[in-house]
């Protein structure tokens, strides 16, 4: 997989935006957003930690991936945790 740094930066920003959707509801867990990309750097699934006690960002993203069978062939996951 050869995805340039601008693409990684774009999707890391998206993961941060997703993480912020859980602001004020995830404690004691951190804010987390996750994106799953295909081999071309295109988004195929995403998720975030909505609330303490609910599935975390990665689990939500992989659950969403199950709904997109064409994207399962080749992927790259990016995530961020914010204190």
Token duo for residue 66: 């199950």
Range list of H helices, 1-83 = 5-20, 57-66
Q: Which of 55, 58, 62, 64 is catalytic?
A: 58
58 is catalytic: yes
Name the DSSP class of 68: -
Q: How many residues does the chain have?
A: 83
Given a contact cutoff of 8 angstroms between Cβ atoms, the answer to whether 50 and 64 are in contact is no
Q: What positions carry a catalytic annotation?
A: 58
């Amino acid at each position: 997989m050869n995805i340039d740094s601008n693409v990684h930066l774009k999707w890391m920003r998206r993961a941060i935006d997703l993480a912020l959707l859980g602001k004020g509801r995830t404690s004691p867990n951190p804010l987390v957003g996750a994106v799953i990309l295909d081999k071309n750097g295109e988004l195929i699934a995403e998720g975030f930690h909505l609330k303490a006690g609910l599935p975390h960002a990665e689990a939500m993203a992989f659950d969403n991936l199950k709904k997109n069978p064409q994207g399962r062939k080749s992927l790259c996951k990016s995530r961020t945790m914010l204190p």
